[in-house]
């Protein structure tokens, strides 16, 4: 399929964009090409699709289920018991609901750290998004559980060999407080041997940090360093409780970091995310929306705004994390983290694009389109979404929307119990 986007704003100037297959083939004014579909880009701006670098997709069904609790109680009293009630059906419809929400708010790729990858794959494939999917690993320091987790991971990798090219399997040990050292090391070795991305939660809360010092004699980052699992294919979510030495270690191993400002604030894990220090060391920092049980929505425009405002506020410096860096965090940095040729509107890059409706109050006046996107807009200004060269939403219409919502409501009843 080929698509021609006519007269769309790119970098504050009107242009045409020609997409053929999965790639952006030409960008320029007055392109003379034939296309299967022509999109009128007048009063619209084109941006790369957002990359949600840390998500628990089927937790859309948990939205509003566990509110105003500290992380440890939130997990043990609410989330883990509810997750025990998951079925194939709830994973499927919860993931479809997440995909719908992400399409409607401009996300073209996400990293889904969750369960039952077969059902997640089915849902994501039907919706047409790009994704990394996992079956999150736990052993709670029990050898029998560790062996079961290893077998599960090996089986899931075999299963993933039939996945669409837009969906890849990755390895995801949950956290240092739920996964043994032996299983963490096995996970890293397995990921390296099979060319896979590895992803985990780390240094999310003060309690996790203090327990790491008590149990391992090291900070969370230094503990993973001691285990020998740090590498360029590792991405770490949250990363609030770290020091300068930790940051240098991350830089030395080219480890990627995912900032989750909405979730961090909601669960009161912390807010002094050391973006500036990481940037100065050359660490790739991207943006994640976490699960809807903690962030309540998957709107990456909200994530960009919160990330930027938090940096300015806790540092008492309005120049920190300017709008362009916030946009990069939500696009090209995420693409780099997951080794995807996307995140830029550029010839030869994957056609993962969104068109923003500029005929909105949040873009009026439009002195600075990126600033309006980051500071003024929300996901409802996304008019059209293209992923891998396919139109998934046009004029705010997504096929099958009501069916997804209706079935997700029924699936949520199973989760609630």
Domains of the chain: 2-48+348-401 (2.30.40.10), 50-337 (3.20.20.140)
**Cis amide prior to 365 (ω within 30 degrees):** yes
The yes-or-no verdict on residue 283 having pLDDT over 90 is: yes
- Residue 158's pLDDT is 95
Taking the CA atoms of residue 69, residue 202, residue 95 and residue 170 in that order, the dihedral angle to the nearest 10 degrees is -160
Q: What is the mean pLDDT of residues 397-414?
A: 97
Please list the alpha-helical segments (H only) found in 128-253: 143-160, 181-194, 206-216, 220-227, 244-252
Distance CA 188, CA 197 (A): 9
What pLDDT, on a 0 to 100 scale, did the predictor assign at position 180?
A: 98
Model pLDDT, residue 74: 85
Q: Give the strand pairing for 50-55 and 23-28.
A: unpaired
pLDDT at 69 over 90: no
Answer whether 123's CB lies under 8 Å from 103's CB.
no
Residue 73 has pLDDT above 90, yes or no: no
pLDDT surpassing 80 at residue 321: yes
Averaged pLDDT for residues 332-348: 98
- pLDDT average, residue stretch 238-263: 98
Question: What percentage of the chain carries pLDDT values higher than 90?
Answer: 96
Helix (H) / strand (E) containing 325: helix 323-330
Q: What is the mean pLDDT of residues 228-232?
A: 98
pLDDT at 64: 94
Q: In residues, how long is the chain? A: 417
Please report how many Cα atoms fall inside a 13 Å half-sphere around the Cα of residue 368, on the Cβ side.
Answer: 9
CA distances from 301 to 221, 298, 356, 403 (A): 29, 9, 12, 26
Is the pLDDT score of 50 beyond 90? Answer: yes
b/e per residue, 169-187, with b = 16+ CB within 10 A? bbbbbbbbbbbbeebbebb
pTM score > 0.85 for this model?
yes
> What is the band of 310 on the pLDDT scale with cuts at 50, 70, 90?
very high
| 55 Cβ contact partners less than 8 Å away, ≥ 6 residues apart | 98, 110, 111, 112, 113, 114, 288, 289, 290, 291, 298
Q: What is the mean pLDDT of the chain?
A: 97
Helix axes 220-227, 244-252, angle to 10 degrees: 30
Per-residue pLDDT at 71 exceeds 80: no
Instruction: Report the alpha-carbon distance of residue 190 to residue 209 in Å, rounded.
Output: 26
The alpha carbon of 27 is separated from its chain's Cα centroid by a whole number of angstroms, namely: 28
């Amino acid at each position: 399929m080929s698509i021609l986007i006519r007269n769309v704003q790119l970098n504050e100037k009107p242009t045409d964009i020609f997409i053929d297959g999965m790639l952006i083939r030409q960008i320029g004014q007055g392109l003379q090409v034939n296309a299967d579909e022509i999109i009128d880009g007048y009063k619209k701006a084109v941006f790369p699709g957002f990359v949600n670098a840390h998500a628990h997709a089927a937790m859309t069904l948990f939205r509003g289920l566990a509110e105003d609790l500290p992380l440890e109680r939130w997990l043990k009293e609410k989330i883990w018991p509810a997750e025990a009630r998951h079925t194939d059906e709830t994973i499927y419809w919860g993931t479809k609901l997440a995909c719908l929400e992400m399409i409607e708010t401009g996300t073209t790729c996400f990293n889904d750290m969750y369960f039952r990858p077969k059902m997640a794959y089915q849902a994501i494939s039907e919706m047409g998004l790009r994704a990394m999917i996992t079956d999150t690993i736990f052993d709670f320091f029990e050898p029998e559980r560790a062996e079961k987790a290893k077998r599960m991971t090996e089986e899931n990798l075999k299963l993933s060999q039939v996945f669409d090219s837009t969906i890849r399997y990755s390895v995801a040990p949950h956290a240092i407080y739920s996964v043994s050292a032996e299983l963490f090391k096995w996970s890293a070795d397995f990921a390296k041997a099979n060319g896979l991305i590895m992803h985990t939660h780390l240094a999310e809360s003060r309690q996790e940090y203090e327990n790491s010092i008590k149990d391992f004699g090291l900070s969370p980052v230094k503990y993973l360093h001691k285990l020998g699992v740090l590498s360029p294919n590792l991405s770490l979510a949250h990363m609030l409780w770290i020091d300068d030495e930790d940051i240098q270690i991350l830089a030395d191993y080219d480890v990627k970091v995912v900032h989750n400002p909405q979730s961090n604030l909601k669960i009161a894990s912390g807010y002094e995310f050391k973006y500036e220090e990481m940037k100065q060391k050359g660490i790739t920092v991207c943006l994640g929306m976490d699960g809807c049980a903690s962030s309540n929505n998957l709107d990456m425009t909200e994530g960009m705004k919160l990330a930027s405002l938090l940096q300015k506020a806790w540092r008492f410096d309005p120049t920190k994390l300017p709008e362009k860096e916030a946009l990069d965090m939500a696009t090209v940095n995420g693409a780099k983290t997951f080794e995807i040729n996307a995140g830029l509107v550029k010839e030869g890059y994957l056609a993962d694009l969104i068109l923003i409706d500029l005929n909105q109050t949040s873009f009026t006046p439009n002195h600075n389109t990126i600033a309006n996107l980051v500071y003024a807009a929300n996901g409802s200004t996304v008019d059209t979404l293209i992923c891998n060269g396919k139109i998934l939403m046009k004029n705010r219409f997504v096929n099958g929307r009501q069916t997804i919502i209706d079935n997700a409501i029924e699936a949520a009843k199973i989760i609630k119990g």
